[in-house]
Chain A
Amino acid sequence: MIRPQDLLCPKPEGLYCAPGDFYIDPVRPVDRAVITHGHADHARAGHYNVVATPQTLDIMGERYGRDFAHTPQAAPYGETVSRNGVEVTLVPAGHVLGSAQAVVRWKGLTMVVSGDYKRRRDPTCPPFEPVPCDVFISEATFGLPVFRHPDDKAEIARLLRSVAQFPERSHIIGAYALGKAQRIIRLLREAGWDRTIYVHGALERLNALYRKHGVDLGPLAPATTAKKAEFAGQIIIAPPSALQDRWSRRFPEPVAAFASGWMQIRARARQRGVELPLVISDHADWDELTATVDELRPGELWITHGREEALARWATLHDIPARALALVGYEDDDG
């Protein structure tokens, strides 16, 4: 009888598959890595062989340069890669462009590593695909019952109401450069905002990459091209760190908005000086996490990172054996 820990087990470098001799999202350079998505804490430079979706490889190349790995190996969604009898299939996780769950099969045992995921519609990537499995290895960034993300369309509507209400001010939205920024732009376009959206320089390359992959972002311009008064009534998108930076002084009375699941907590918004918190996240909220576990009813639930204890307790209360892996190195960022 093979046990799940014979197939995957936590190591300091990350989740390790002994029979296939590879790591999933390792935090240090290794010989063979499977990468679920392009966020920096999951996709690091310096591995020898990297298996990832073509989009994720593209993102890594954009961030780390073309030589980020010795042998990048593209695995499109649904195609299986085998090594030493271990089969790995990447299926959509709905997190950001190219994001995938790693489905690992070996001798009749199926384990799914969720990577970071969400269950809601995202106009920039295909939706999460539930895969029946013996062990589901889940993230838990928002693994507390307080995190219940509202409808993203309603959040965008709040933003647009504020823009209409304060036409003399500019609205700066803090959004992570990979995924969140492009999703916000798409949501704005779907809500009918067809004016030029101004973007911080740090977002330009990833915006171009999303466009190359067929995501229509509409008219964008660098947030440096207009005069101060011309930014009145405009929407600007910047990395969150720029909100309180001297960079923001070029705009007229900016309303600081921040698009993140953390904005659900008022103290967090207040600490960061955010005037208009937009609760829009690329991670599963509490209801999505628990509904996904309930839908899959895996034999076991393993939890990689985030607020593991609450999700583990919930699973135990629902008769699903759960264990927290306490993997280190993944950030709390709602990227």
Chain B
Amino acid sequence: MRAFAELLDRLSLTPSRNAKLTLVRDYLRDTPDPDRGWALAALTGDLAFDAAKPAFIRKAVEARMDPQLFWWSYDYVGDLAEAVSLVWPARPGANREPQLSEVIDGLRSASRAEAQRRIEAWLDALPEPRERWALLKLMTGALRVGLTARLAKRAAAEMGGVDPAEIEELWHALKPPYEDLFAWLEGRSGKPTSEHPARFRPVMLAQAIDEAVDFARLDPADYAAEWKWDGIRVQAAHEGRERRLYTRTGDDISRTFPDILDALDDEGVIDGELLVIRDGRVAPFADLQQRLNRKTVDARLMAQFPAAIRAYDILQVGAEDTRPLPFAERRKRLEAFVARQASPRIDLSPVQPFATWAELTGLRAAPPPGDPQIAEGLMLKRWDSDYVAGRPKGPWFKWKRDPFLVDAVLMYAQRGHGKRSSYYSDYTFGVWAQDDAGHRILTPVGKAYFGFTDEELLRIDRFVRDNTVERFGPVRSVRAEPHHGLVFEVAFEGLQRSTRHKSGVAMRFPRISRIRWDKPPGEADGIDALERLLRQMEQR
């Protein structure tokens, strides 16, 4: 338990992705079975207990100490699990420290009352607050240590020196504590079999096209063009009695989208974009967000935000693995497959005909009426390409629409994290608006923390330090006046209305595209420019 607690503790405070990988990889290498497997299951979110609720732990601690002293402690710390782990008044005569696997076994097999009794006994036996904190995190299921399931699997791949895609494809065939996986990663046995129904297949990704180079050497006749939809990439699988929906990283989101899986009548595996589609038209991304990250959904929500897959590839039809077939062949099977489902929950991403790159350039700049108006750009797929995991060079390209641009004024700067903790690297910027009295004032419209070089960061950091008006902890407000301040050209992918932002708009993927040292803030854009753009997008 000690090593696992130390791992969670470090992960929760480590900002760098690479450092997190190192921490998990070393843990998996140095910890014996079955503890490391249970830890991996906890980190990938594949463990869930409902044996104990946080409220019980509060009762338990108040039965052991003065409730007033506990209240002051909780009030000071602000987090129940952390406060309890720190104040826990252990009763003497505790057992030895439990192993992680003992805790997991104990939680899995216990009734609620029994689990609570065991948790109290473990809290007594764990000598350090860090370990008690880890136990309480495990108990509630949500570790929240800033590590994605994908990164945890990647760490396992690094430990064994295998391709992360191999683990992703295997993943849903494995059961914690994954002793067969570790035996393979350590070269003690062969690769576990991935032949299990409705498993996840690692997805094929596209490269960004380089307009200056690629068009000159590519033949338009070799490529199919499709619109690039602004949803999330998913894979829907139906094999045997199993139906599953996965994200592009292999997270199983079946429970959130039963409506889609119900529509997948035939056996097969399709690749497509998850969208909210009403009466055949794509709804804004914000509507899809209403459906994401939920454990369960009800009929009302499904009716209000009808999710659908816009399918663009097929990986399996019945018993046939179609991945080795060329895209042209897969496309035919996909069209037939989608037609057979005959459901508005699964439709087809159309192929956009074109003859020359010039014609396609025109289409991208001025998409035809309808859904392509809010597409993110175009996808190009070689007709003869087979479906391979990862991001191979050449067969698939993405060609994003040019971003929207706005000139905005730097208003606040915040210190970054990790490597950037001594730099003011997170910027809040605003555009001009009018206050109630009719004065011209800046209203914040977004935040960005990338898009600049290291040299530019140094220079902006210096500007922030030299032009600080006020400090609020790690945040500084900087001079932003019509004739003195710093203008950023901000690039973004889209706009949506927002009640959380004072300005009423929220940007998608904002980043700094240029720093306008030359431009006086008074000449930056106004909120009317953004509102005009918003209306255009809504009236497509």
Q: Which chain A residue has the least Cβ–Cβ distance from B418? A: A275
* B78→A145 contact, CB < 8 A: no
Which B residues lie within 8 Å of A317 (CB)?
66
A225 at the interface (CB under 8 A from B): no
Q: What residues on A are CB-neighbors of B418 within 8 Å?
A: 275
Chain B residues contacting A162 (CB-CB under 8 Å) are 10
Contacting residues, chain B, for A246 (C-beta < 8 A): 422
| Cα separation A265 to B186 with both chains bound (whole Å) | 38
**In the docked arrangement, what's the CA distance between A282 and B185, Å?**
46
B31 interfacial by beta-carbon distance below 8 Å: no
A144 touching B73 in the complex, CB below 8 Å, given contacts A165-B22, A264-B86, A275-B15 = yes
Whether the Cβ atoms of A253 and B419 lie closer than 8 Å is yes
CB proximity to A under 8 Å, residues B399-438: 415, 417-419, 421-422
Docked pose: A183 CA to B490 CA in angstroms? 50
Q: Is B50 an interface residue (CB 8 A)?
A: no
Q: Let me know if B421 and A165 touch, CB within 8 A.
A: no
Interface centre among B22, B70, B73 (most CB of A within 10 A): B73
Instruction: Check A277 for interface membership: any CB of B closer than 8 A.
Output: yes
B83 at the interface (CB under 8 A from A): yes
Instruction: Check if B69 is an interface residue, CB within 8 A of chain A.
Output: yes
Instruction: With a 10 A CB-CB cut-off, give which of A150, A247, A253, A273 has the most chain B CB atoms.
Output: A273
Nearest Cβ on chain B to A280's Cβ, whole angstroms: 14
User: Using an 8 Å CB-CB cutoff, how does the interface string of A123-162 with B read, 1 for contact, 0 for none?
Assistant: 0000000000000000000001111101000000010001
| B129 and A244 within 8 A (CB) | no
B68 at the interface (CB under 8 A from A): yes
Q: Are B22 and A314 in contact (CB under 8 A)?
A: no
A-B contacts counted at CB < 8 A amount to 83
Residues B68-116 near A (CB distance < 8 A): 68-70, 72-73, 76-79, 82-83, 86-87, 89
CA distance in complex: A154, B326 (Å): 59
Decide: A148 and B86 in contact? CB cutoff 8 A: yes
0 or 1 for each of A262-285: is its CB under 8 Å from B? (1 = yes):
001111011101111100000000
Q: How far is the CA of A270 from the CA of B14 in the complex (A)?
A: 10
Give the CA-CA distance A277 to B78 in the complex, in Å: 18
- Pick the residue among B14, B15, B77, B421 that contacts A146 (CB under 8 A): B77
Question: Would you call B129 and A277 a contact (CB within 8 A)?
Answer: no
Chain B residues with CB below 8 A from A41, complex form: none
- A271-B473, A274-B13 known; A145 vs B87 contact (CB < 8 Å): yes
A166 touches B73 (CB 8 A): no
Q: Which residues of A contact B473 (CB under 8 A)?
A: 271
Q: Choose one: A146, A245, A266, A307; the contact of B12 (CB below 8 Å).
A: A266
A209 within 8 A of B: no
Residues of B contacting A313 with CB < 8 Å? Answer: 66, 68-69
- The answer to whether B72 touches A144, judged by C-beta atoms less than 8 angstroms apart, is yes
B84: nearest chain-A partner, CB-CB: A146
Least CB distance from B472 to A in Å reads 12
Chain A residues numbered 286-335 whose CB sits less than 8 Å from any CB in chain B: 307, 309-310, 313-314, 317
Interface presence of B19 (CB below 8 A): yes
Which residue of B is nearest A162, CB measured?
B10
A273→B417 CA distance, assembly (Å): 7
Residues of B near A277 (CB, < 8 A) are 13
Knowing A144-B73, A145-B73, the reply to whether A266 touches B13 (Cβ < 8 A) is yes
Q: C-beta contact mask, B1-40 vs A, less than 8 Å → 1, else 0?
A: 0000010001011111001001100100000000000000
Residue of B nearest to A164 (CB): B26
Could you say which of B65, B128, B422, B474 contacts A249, with CB atoms under 8 Å apart?
Answer: B422
Instruction: Give the CA-CA distance A116 to B402 in the complex, in Å.
Output: 63
A178 within 8 A of B: no
| Interface flags, A160-172, vs B, CB<8A=1, else 0 | 0010011000000
User: Does A256 lie at the interface of the complex (its beta carbon under 8 Å from any beta carbon of B)?
Assistant: yes
Nearest CB of B to A291, in Å: 14
Kindly state the separation between the CA atoms of A266 and B137 in the bound complex, as whole angstroms: 14
| Contact A165:B73 (CB < 8 A) given known A145-B86, A244-B421 | no
By Cβ-Cβ distance, the 5 closest A-B pairs, closest first, are: A146-B86, A145-B87, A273-B421, A146-B73, A145-B73
What are 10 inter-chain pairs, A to B, with CB distance below 8 A? Answer: A146-B77, A146-B83, A148-B87, A165-B23, A266-B13, A270-B13, A273-B415, A273-B421, A310-B73, A313-B69
State the A residues within 8 Å of B (CB): 144-148, 150, 158, 162, 165-166, 243-249, 253, 256, 264-267, 269-271, 273-277, 307, 309-310, 313-314, 317
- B residues whose Cβ falls under 8 Å from a Cβ of A: 6, 10, 12-16, 19, 22-23, 26, 65-66, 68-70, 72-73, 76-79, 82-83, 86-87, 89, 128-129, 415, 417-419, 421-422, 473-474
What 19 additional pairs, Cβ within 8 angstroms, besides A145-B65, A248-B421, A253-B419? Answer: A144-B76, A145-B87, A146-B77, A146-B83, A150-B129, A158-B6, A166-B19, A166-B22, A248-B422, A264-B129, A266-B82, A269-B13, A270-B13, A273-B417, A274-B13, A275-B13, A275-B14, A276-B10, A314-B69
